[in-house]
Structure 1
Amino acid sequence: MILTSANTLQSREIIEYKGLVTGEFLIGANIYKDLFSGVRDVVVGRTSAYEDELEKAREHALKEMEEKAEALGANAIIGLKISYDNLGGTMGNTILVTAYGTAIRYEEK
């Protein structure tokens, strides 16, 4: 499956638009990661615990989106976007990672 943020595929002809597909994944920050990240920020300047969690969440969201596209008979997703939203409030430090794009079928030219 091809994933691209572009709206076209070079050397390929889009033959069918299948529609919007999305994938979401929630991650919650806990107090131990918060404390570890705070110390790491001071010592090293990076928060690898959060980076690792965000990477896992992004991969889960992309996989879910791909599975939905495949179920529609698509072989690519164009116009791919990924957003990160801090839900805060009653959800605590919960981050929603959303991947979305247009599922299509293409053929080689």
Structure 2
Amino acid sequence: MIVSTSHELAGYRIDSVLGPVFGLTVRSRNAFSQAGAGLKSMFGGELKGMTKNLEESRQQVIERMEARAEELGANAVIAFRFDTSEMGGDWTEICAYGTAVVATPVSG
């Protein structure tokens, strides 16, 4: 599956647009990680546990988006983006979205 933030794919022709696709997860915050993050933020530095959680969440939503695109018969997703939002103060929604397309390599 080709995933691109652009609206076109260099070297490919977009044969059909199958529609929007997304992958979604909602994560709750671990109380211990949150407390550690609060302490760490007072002194500065990377919040490694939070970074790891976000990386895993983003990978998960990309995989879900790709699976949905494959269900539609796509071989690529263009205009790919992430979106996150806080829900109720304790939950974070993470979404990957884009447009599922069928793309064919252009012979040179």
| TM-score scaled by length of structure 2 | 0.92
One-letter code aligned to 1:72: L
Instruction: Give, in angstroms, the shift of residue 68 of structure 1.
Output: 0.5
Q: Which runs of 5+ in 1 are unaligned?
A: none
Instruction: Measure, in 2, the Cα distance between the counterparts of 1:50 and 1:93.
Output: 14
One-letter code aligned to 1:39: L
SS of the counterpart of 1:39?
Answer: helix
Instruction: Give, in angstroms, the shift of residue 41 of structure 1.
Output: 2.6
One-letter code aligned to 1:93: D
Percent identity between matched residues is: 28
One-letter code aligned to 1:108: P
Instruction: Measure, in 1, the Cα distance between the counterparts of 2:83 and 2:48.
Output: 19
Matched with 1:98 is: 95
Q: Which runs of 5+ in 2 are unaligned?
A: none
Matched with 2:82 is: 82
Instruction: Measure, in 2, the Cα distance between the counterparts of 1:51 and 1:35.
Output: 15
SS of the counterpart of 1:106?
Answer: strand
Instruction: Measure, in 2, the Cα distance between the counterparts of 1:11 and 1:42.
Output: 49
**Does 1:13 find its partner at 2:13?**
yes
Q: Deviations over 1:43-68 (max 9, x none)?
A: 45221111111111111111000000
Name the Cα RMSD after superposition: 1.2
Instruction: Measure, in 2, the Cα distance between the counterparts of 1:81 and 1:47.
Output: 24
- Spell out structure 1 runs of 4+ moving beyond 4 A: none
One-letter code aligned to 1:40: K
